[in-house]
Amino acid sequence: MIEVPATFRAMPRWWSEGTDWVEALPRLVADQCERWRLAPDGPVRHGSNALVVPVRRGAERLALRMSPPGDDVAREAATLRFWDGRGTVRLVDADPTRRAQLLEWIDPGTSLETVPLLQTPAILGAVLRRLAIPAPPDTPDTGRVTAADAAGWLRRWRALGAPAHQRHLATALAAAAAVREPATPDLAVNADLHFGQILRARREPWLVVDPVLLRGDIDYDLGRLLWSRLDELADDGAVRGYLAAVVEAAQLDLERAERLVLVRAMSYLLWGLERGLTEDPPRCRRLLEVFG
């Protein structure tokens, strides 16, 4: 039986829901290991939502990923099948009914979080380009996702009591309108880009885990990368310089990337405040100030 880490139990997602699933995880993992003939093999890992158990099947080392109720594991598995190991972890098997995925083991598996920030632009540029292949035509595009989100910003802004300067809302809405038509409408993009989900590997230098597939602007989620390590950038010039370095490495347009940062910063500011988050909303406000 595996032990659920205390750090996983403390994740914000379980503040209001999902605690029954967290408590049941040792049994769920044991059941899935029996179905797939797996043996746990090492310390359990986790992100903010899912639990990852190192396992062996005979001599083969793999990773068992267990996702909580509400996660669309069938979609997640289809996303991994689409990229099929190109810049992403490979899917070995999936059991959507039980919200389980069996993945290749990534060795050494240290994340991009461990790399000094100013050494990461070239890596991020290569990752963005590696994933940018023609997407299935029925994939949602970044422009429509942005437009749908922005349509509710004013109502949510008012409900939160105007959580930043009014001009930031106006600037973000203008940015959302400007990126309504993606610059690269046919290309695949990971819409959930985290330093912690880009892992050092041997099959390729870096592999992405848990991607979310959209098509359109491949710099769609650079705002998330900025706010997640924003405290390491001392001033506005450093923030602008870091984004410019990533954009140059990925061969993108800086003005459009700045607009996408504004869009993602406003989106996450509202989402985070609605859920009681305290650390990321001030970072999103800073991005709105720097680029607005």
pLDDT, mean over the chain: 95
Condensed to tens digits (0 to 9), the pLDDT of residues 175-201 reads 999 999 999 999 999 999 999 999 999
Condensed to tens digits (0 to 9), the pLDDT of residues 209-246 reads 999 999 999 999 999 999 999 999 999 999 999 999 99
CB count within 10 Å of CB 16 equals 9
- 259 and 153 inside one domain: yes
Report the percent of the chain where pLDDT is more than 70: 100
Residue 160 is assigned to a structural domain of this protein: yes
Is pLDDT at 13 greater than 90 in this prediction?
no
d(CA 250, CA 183): 14
Instruction: Show the tokens assigned to 290.
Output: 């720097």
Is pLDDT at 16 greater than 80 in this prediction?
no
- 166 and 243 inside one domain: yes
Question: Quick one: how many helices (H) and strands (E) in the chain?
Answer: 11, 10
Q: Scan for tokens 């607009």, then name that residue.
A: 259
CB count within 10 Å of CB 21 equals 17
Q: Catalytic: 192?
A: yes
Provide the domain limits for residue 87. Answer: 6-104
CB count within 10 Å of CB 17 equals 11
pTM listed for this prediction: 0.92
Residue 1 is assigned to a structural domain of this protein: no
Average pLDDT over residues 199-211: 97
- 131 and 255 inside one domain: yes
**Among the three residues 104, 135, 166, which one is the final residue of a domain in this structure?**
104
d(CA 168, CA 282): 13
CATH code for position 159 = 3.90.1200.10
Domain count within the chain: 2
pLDDT grade for 49, boundaries at 50, 70 and 90: confident
pLDDT grade for 140, boundaries at 50, 70 and 90: very high
Are 216 and 189 in contact, with CB atoms under 8 Å apart?
yes
Helix (H, G, I), strand (E, B) or coil at 7: helix
The residues, any chain, with a CB within 8 Å of residue 148's CB and separated by 6 or more, are none
- 195 and 280 inside one domain: yes
Marked catalytic residue, from 192, 210, 221, 253: 192
